[in-house]
Amino acid sequence: MQAVNYELKPRVKEFLEGIKGLYINGEYVLSESGKTFQVLDPATEDVIAEVSEAQKEDIDKAVAAARKAFDEGEWTKMEAAERAHLIYKFADLLEEHREELAQLESLDNGKPYETALSDDVDGTVQHFRYYSGWATKIFGKTTQVSPDYVTYTVHEPVGVVGQIIPWNFPLAMAAWKLGSALAVGCTVVIKPASETPLSLLYAARLFKEAGFPDGVVNVVPGAGRVAGEAILTHPDVDKVAFTGSTAVGKEVMKKAADQIKGVTLELGGKSPAIVLADADLEETIEGVFSGTMYNHGQNCSACTRVYVHRSLYDQVVDELAKRADALKIGPGLDPETDMGPLVSAKQQKTVLEYIEKGKEEGARLVSGGTKAGEKGYFVRPTIFADVEDDMTIAREEIFGPVMAVFPFDTVEEVIKRANDSDYGLAASIWTTNIKSGHYIAGKLQSGTVWINDFGLEWETMPFGGYKQSGVGREMGGDYGLANYTEVKSVFVNIKDPNK
């Protein structure tokens, strides 16, 4: 794989110089301990930045800043319309810096630049604009139960929120959590993943420029076992929102239980795609393939289990293999790249081990299955056929560009097999019979179901999972707001004093 020379934006070059500080109380500061960690370009394995590593004492400072901003600052005292204006102004600034943010997202995550620009950055801008509008639409209710009382509910911000962000969509996942939390008036301590902290650290300065009061948003990159745990267990953090693996999500839930602390969890998936005999093959193959390989397969809703009606099975497998073989793998900033590297050496090793497990257990490898290139964390897009339901690659989340394809004979059979999973995040159905699509959608145990499409995640629709795929919903207007509010019931005695 040849090296590619690409020109970084001047503001990106400037940002990457020196040690990147934590963003606490409206300014960049070095960690109290002086500890730092290196951020790598997964396409080259080169060090691209050095970042301060938050320790417990740094989290204490960040939480104290967020608590003061919530309890004593102007943020919770300002009118909702002003809060909406600041969020919208922040979105405008993100748009002004969209190319810089996309380069940073591509550099430390590995995703193709154009994808980072159009999906991650532009999607983030749209998300903040959408939730700025919700700041003025937080409604309580009145109930008419007795002529002697006025009763109503009030939705109040929960307080200081801890948010822990994954490495697969660093900026977008931050937006999913920040948008609704800020709209209702919470203050935030947010920890990006150590592999991919750059875009959120760069964006942090824009909160100040937009006019946010100091302490409202604090960005603290660091190790999950240190910084993440300090956020989770801090007594002044009122709510935690976490996106990551189901295994870690279980630990988050256990630790939060010690303080009866509310949690929102967006966790793993093993999403099925069901291809019926009447499916439009061209549309289906394109949708299923991109639904698995998008973001190098590092996507919790990726359709890694593809069930194809037996009458189409061989044809679909062959076409999927052709598409996998044709993908151009390379650095994310190379404009000719279709698929970039995995995010880290650890993730590459994990994915390759799953591929070997699939071969050992008897699945038929029809495409890919190996590393690509001498340097970088590349894995070729991989298609397995003749997979059995009890194989490891059929049951465990791989989080890489690996698809398992299964034949099926009847609709009831495939519904049962699709639901036979610990996960229930997403699913897709491919058919030209809309009645069949609706029927199957009603039977699937999934938080999101797409019919003749895959991967649509709009801020207007809630996103979350059944079973071990999570707790709660993000986005979706007031569904997302509910994560960050407490509901207060108020009773007012209006009895006639003369009676």
Instruction: Indicate if 405 and 278 belong to the same structural domain.
Output: yes
Q: Per the structure, how many domains does the chain have?
A: 2
CA distance 358 to 342: 19
pLDDT attached to residue 499 = 76
Joined together, the tokens standing for residue 245 give: 């693996």
Confidence band, pLDDT 50/70/90 cuts, at residue 5:
low
Instruction: Indicate if 107 and 225 belong to the same structural domain.
Output: yes
Residue 266 known to be catalytic: yes
The values of phi and psi at residue 110, to 5°, are 100, -5
Q: List the CATH number of the domain containing 380.
A: 3.40.309.10
Catalytic residue, from 266, 319, 397, 474: name it: 266
Instruction: Indicate if 181 and 97 belong to the same structural domain.
Output: yes
Instruction: Indicate if 330 and 440 belong to the same structural domain.
Output: yes
Instruction: Indicate if 173 and 322 belong to the same structural domain.
Output: no
Q: Is the pLDDT of residue 52 over 90?
A: yes
Q: List the CATH number of the domain containing 119.
A: 3.40.605.10
Instruction: Indicate if 262 and 277 belong to the same structural domain.
Output: no
Q: Quick one: which of 155, 170, 188, 176 has its CA closest to 75?
A: 188
Q: What does the pLDDT average to over 46-52?
A: 97
pLDDT attached to residue 144 = 87
Report pLDDT digits (tens) over 60-75. Answer: 999 999 999 999 999 9
Residue 457 lies in a domain: no
The answer to which of 138-147, 185-194, 270-279, 416-425 has the lowest mean pLDDT is 138-147
Q: Is the pLDDT of residue 9 over 80?
A: yes
Instruction: Indicate if 212 and 354 belong to the same structural domain.
Output: no
pLDDT attached to residue 2 = 47
Contacting residues for 176 by C-beta, under 8 A, at least 6 apart: 127, 243, 463, 474, 475, 480
pLDDT attached to residue 4 = 52
Instruction: Indicate if 58 and 78 belong to the same structural domain.
Output: yes
The values of phi and psi at residue 426, to 5°, are -155, 165
Instruction: Indicate if 208 and 295 belong to the same structural domain.
Output: no
CA distance 38 to 21: 13
Q: Is the pLDDT of residue 362 over 70?
A: yes
Report pLDDT digits (tens) over 437-487. Answer: 999 999 999 999 999 999 999 999 999 999 999 999 999 999 999 999 999
Instruction: Indicate if 427 and 477 belong to the same structural domain.
Output: no
Report DSSP letters for 294-333, one per residue: GGGG--TT---EEEEETTTHHHHHHHHHHHHHHPPB--TT
Residue 18 lies in a domain: yes
Q: Please give the share of the chain, as a percent, with pLDDT higher than 70.
A: 99
Domain range for 84: 10-267+470-486
Residue 458 lies in a domain: no
Q: Please give the share of the chain, as a percent, with pLDDT higher than 90.
A: 96
Confidence band, pLDDT 50/70/90 cuts, at residue 497:
confident
Q: What does the pLDDT average to over 382-394?
A: 98
CA distance 344 to 327: 20
Only one residue has tokens 């190996």, namely: 370
Q: Which residues pair with 150 in a beta bridge?
A: 492
Instruction: Indicate if 227 and 279 belong to the same structural domain.
Output: no
Q: What does the pLDDT average to over 302-312?
A: 97
